[in-house]
Amino acid sequence: MTQTRSRFLTVMLTLGLAFFYIPILLLVIYSFNNSKLVPVWGGWSTRWYQELFQSEEVWEAVLLSLQIAVVNATFATLLGTLAGLAMVRFGGFRGRTLFGGMLVAPLVMPEVITGLSLLVFFISLSELIGWPSQRGFTTITIAHITFSMAFVAVTVQARLTGMGQTLEEAAADLGAKPFKVLTAITIPRLTPALISGWLLAFTLSLDDLVIASFVTGPGSTTLPILIFSRIRLGLRPDINAMATIMIIAISICVAIAAILIFRQQQAELRDQQMAFKEEG
């Protein structure tokens, strides 16, 4: 684009980024505060990290949340991909409108409603058929799959529409049966969307407090539930330490992703140069 940013836009962007990052930065700084009272600076220290690592309760919550997140992300990607394919590639089928509605609604549905409805559903089901006999890992995972598959489906749908159908037609023209077209062309082409869908579902699950609070049972404390129960009572330096660790972990993942994307772009650039040389 030839037009540049006006000064107003630059100011807004700078302020916006400051608004986004200053709270996070302060959170990290205060995690190294020696004082027990968060806002009162008492010198540098890593004592809250030590305390955190020694807490068995925290480790259990982390482990449970990670397990749920991985199972959720895998199933949500599977179901969301099928749903995306059905919406974009199969044209009209009976119940498409209902299906599309149910697929989009979880994107904006207030969490309290989803949580409440799933809880009463699980209780009614347990009364009716005796399953689920207790709430915890399974119920939380099912609840998470239900809302995060919608996010995967949107990602897959966008990619499928962007891809167009020509390559699939070309494969069919060369004799590939519909199932073969799916496995040899569509799925490989979808890979980037599947990866980002999986990561999205993983993060959503790891992040969810409200729905998990509804559908969890005794003894199943996920990480957000643990954090929430602690910060409800006020500021706690160990939570700052936990936040810092999470932010660093995510930043590392994101940095790796960025490097991979950068390499990919470099490779594409090389391809273009190679192709350009051939023109001459």
Partner 1 sequence: MAAIDAFSDTPWLDPAGQKPLVQIKGLTKSFGAFTAIDNIDLDIYQGELFCLLGGSGCGKSTLLRMLAGFETPNGGEILIDGVDMAHVPAYERPTNMMFQSYALFPHMTVEKNIAFGLQQDGVGKSEIKDRVHDILTLVELQDYKKRKPQQLSGGQRQRVALARALVKQPKLLLLDEPLAALDKKLRKQTQFELANIQEQVGVTFIVVTHDQEEAMTLSTRMAVMDAGRFKQIGTPTEIYEFPDSRFVADFIGSANIFEGRVVEDSADHILVTTEACDVFIDHGQSVKIDSRIWVGLRPEKIRIEKSEAAASGPNQISGIVDDVGYLGETSIYKVKLESGQIVDVAAPNQMRPSSNSDRITWDDKVLLSWEPSNAMLLSS
Partner 2 sequence: MTDATQPSEKLPASSWMRDLARRAQENWRLIVIAIPFVWLLFFFLAPFFIVAKISLAELAIASPPFTRMMEWSNNGIVTIRIVFDNFAYIIDDPLYFDTYLNSIKISASATLLCLLLGYPIAYAIVRSGPVAKPIFLFLIILPFWTSFLLRVYAWMGLLADQGTINNLLIGLGLIDEPIRMLYTEFAVYVGIVYTYMPFMILPLYANMERLDGSLNEAAADLGARQTTTFFRITLPLTKPGIIAGSLLVFIPATGEYVVPDLLGGGNVQMIGRVLFNEFSRNSDWPVASAVAIMLLFFLVVPMMIFQYFQGKSSEVR
* Rounded Cα gap, residues 20 and 190, in angstroms: 32
* Rounded Cα gap, residues 64 and 141, in angstroms: 11
Contact 167, 185 (CB under 8 A): yes
CB under 8 A: which stretch of 16-24, 42-50, 55-63, 266-274 binds partner 2?
16-24
Q: Is 183 in the site for partner 1 (CB under 8 A)?
A: no
Q: Is 231 in the site for partner 2 (CB under 8 A)?
A: yes
Residues 188-227 touching partner 1, rule: CB under 8 A, are: 188-189
User: Pick from partner 2, partner 1, none: which does 170 bind, CB < 5 to 8 A by kind?
Assistant: partner 1
Radius of gyration of the chain, Cα coordinates, nearest whole angstrom? 24
10 Å Cβ neighbour count for 51?
13
**Considering only residues 34, 66, 121, 217, which one is a binding residue for partner 2 as defined by CB under 8 A?**
121
State phi, psi for 41 to the nearest 5 degrees: -75, 125
From residue 98 to residue 117, what is the string marking binding to partner 2 with x (rule CB under 8 A)?
-xxxxxxxxxxxxxxx--xx
* Rounded Cα gap, residues 100 and 110, in angstroms: 18
**Considering only residues 18, 170, 235, 257, which one is a binding residue for partner 1 as defined by CB under 8 A?**
170
In whole angstroms, how far apart are CA 71 and each of 106, 138, 206?
19, 10, 11
Read off the tokens for 129. Answer: 């058929």
Closest contact distance (angstroms) between CB of 117 and partner 2 is 4
Residue with smaller CB distance to partner 2, 46 or 261: 261
Residues in the chain: 280
Contact 148, 77 (CB under 8 A): no
Q: Is 272 in the site for partner 1 (CB under 8 A)?
A: yes
* Rounded Cα gap, residues 108 and 56, in angstroms: 36
Residue with smaller CB distance to partner 1, 57 or 169: 169
Residue with smaller CB distance to partner 2, 6 or 133: 6
Residue with smaller CB distance to partner 1, 57 or 268: 268
Residues 170-229 touching partner 2, rule: CB under 8 A, are: 177-179, 182-184, 203, 206-207, 209-210, 213-214, 224, 227-228
Q: Which of 248, 241, 250 is nearest to 203 (CA)?
A: 250
**Considering only residues 52, 68, 71, 85, which one is a binding residue for partner 2 as defined by CB under 8 A?**
85
Closest contact distance (angstroms) between CB of 270 and partner 1 is 8
Which chain residues interact with partner 1 by CB under 8 A?
Answer: 166-167, 169-178, 180, 184-185, 188-189, 268, 271-272, 274-276, 278-279
